[in-house]
Amino acid sequence: MSDTILLERRGRVALITLNRPEALNALNEAMMNEVVDAARELDRDPSVGAIIITGSARAFAAGADIKEMAGQSYLDMYAADWFARWSELARVRTPLIAAVAGYALGGGCELAMLCDFILAADTAKFGQPEMKLGVIPGIGGSQRLSRALGKAKAMEMILTGRTMDAAEAEQSGLVARVIPADQLLEEAFATATTIASRSLPVAMLAKECVNAAFETTLTEGVHFERRLFHSLFATQDQKEGMAAFIEKRDPRFTHK
Residues that bind ligand HXC (CB under 6 A): 23-24, 26, 62-67, 103, 105-107, 129-130, 133, 135, 137-139
Asked about 63 being catalytic, the answer comes back as no
Active site residue 107: yes
Quote the least distance from Cβ 242 to ligand HXC, whole Å: 46
Burial class (CB in 10 A: 0-12, 13-18, 19+), 81: exposed
Q: What is the smallest separation between the CB atom of 107 and ligand HXC, expressed in angstroms?
A: 3
Q: How many CB atoms lie within 10 A of CB 48?
A: 20
DSSP 8-class letter at 175 = -
- C-alpha distances (whole Å) from 214 to each of 56, 210, 211, 222, 229 are 30, 8, 6, 12, 19
Catalytic residue among 130, 140, 169, 188: 130
Q: Which is nearer to ligand HXC, 27 or 196 (CB)?
A: 27
Catalytic residue among 39, 64, 99, 112: 64
CB of 189: closest distance to ligand HXC in angstroms?
26
What contacts 186, CB < 8 A, 6 or more positions away?
none
* Least distance between ligand HXC and beta carbon 253 (Å): 39
Q: Which is nearer to ligand HXC, 126 or 253 (CB)?
A: 126
- Please indicate whether residue 130 is annotated as part of the active site: yes
Catalytic residue among 110, 112, 124, 154: 110
Specify the residue, 95 or 137, whose C-beta has the smaller distance to ligand HXC.
137
Q: Which is nearer to ligand HXC, 63 or 95 (CB)?
A: 63
98 CB contacts (<8 Å, ≥6 apart)? 52, 53, 54, 60, 104, 111, 112, 113, 115, 117, 118, 119
Q: What are the catalytic residues?
A: 64, 107, 110, 130
